[in-house]
Amino acid sequence: MAATLKEAPIALKKNFLTALKEAMFEEMSRNSDMICMGEDIGILGGAFGVTEGLQKEFGANRVLDMPISEAAIVGTAVGAALNGKTCMVEMQFIDFISCGFDQIVNMMATYHYRTAGEVNLPVVVRGPAGAYGGGALYHSQMNEAWFAHSPGLKVVCPSTPYDAKGLMKASLRDGNPVIFYEIKQLYRERKIEEELPIDDYIVPLGKAAVRREGKDLTYVTYGQNVYHCLEAADKLAEQGISAEVIDIRTLVPLDEETILKSLAKTNHVVVVNEAPMTCGFAGEIVARVSDIGFEYLDAPPLRVTRMDTPVPWAKPLELHVLPSVEKIVNAGLRVVKF
């Protein structure tokens, strides 16, 4: 009987949530000083299942179910980090990170500076964020500008499974406090599933990704709006307009070089995010483009953001206040035809 060749293992595509879970399992295995803490992250495995199985694998002394007090959770993480631990802190919803705000911005963000660089706090505060899912005003926020405004914090928001895993691993190894936004609408989105490398890898903080090449217009965005911008670019292509889409991936540090390189080519820019317009991070990108890339601009930069209102529950109203493909297309047409 002829011998048969052994079939090669099939690489399964992973979703956003599984990518995050893999990152945590691998980093917990790699770093015996890493601990995780949050509300219901142990026995329950987190509200969305991101930490499912962690406590069973690593024990209740490393994966801690905490009281319902974000201030206490973050404060405990600061204390643990001061004593040599790497801490992953989950906010059950990123909306409630405000309850731990004082510990984050007045303690965690400042320790490295107040000790003249002698102390680092390796703490990652992560949680589900974003709208478009009918979560209404208490479960739909994007409040990343609060923390981008606080020196000493790094701010991350991936849009793909590959980046979710690579950026999480990079954040946990960084040695500095990181606020990590996970777009919950992407957790189990099958359309964005992808094969992940078997070998260990990280995605460097502070490096943007060009998701689509173009020559007439630059969209700068992050999170779920990356996919809205890609769809808008498809629609503009039907009208003969070539749009480039840049996913900044990390807000702090911001990859200005990639943005300016694209702007030097296209001379037009639209910035898209789903946080409110007033004092939002889209305005920061527009300001930097105007400050250091003014000579490249053939038209004023534009923003497409959420309206300055809480996110409504009713779906038609939710979609009305948030960025949409139509709004992004119209902004692109406006700036190119200026």
Residues taking part in catalysis:
139
Cα separation of 15 and 193, whole Å? 5
Cα separation of 207 and 50, whole Å? 25
CA-based angle 269:272:273, to the nearest 5? 155
Strand partners, 209: 247
In the numeric block, which tokens belong to residue 104? Answer: 């984050």
Cα separation of 133 and 183, whole Å? 10
CA-based angle 99:26:142, to the nearest 5? 30
End-to-end Cα distance, the chain: 74
Closest CA relative to residue 97, chosen from 114, 112, 77: 77
Residue pair 211/230 in contact (Cβ under 8 Å)? The answer is yes
Cα separation of 129 and 184, whole Å? 6
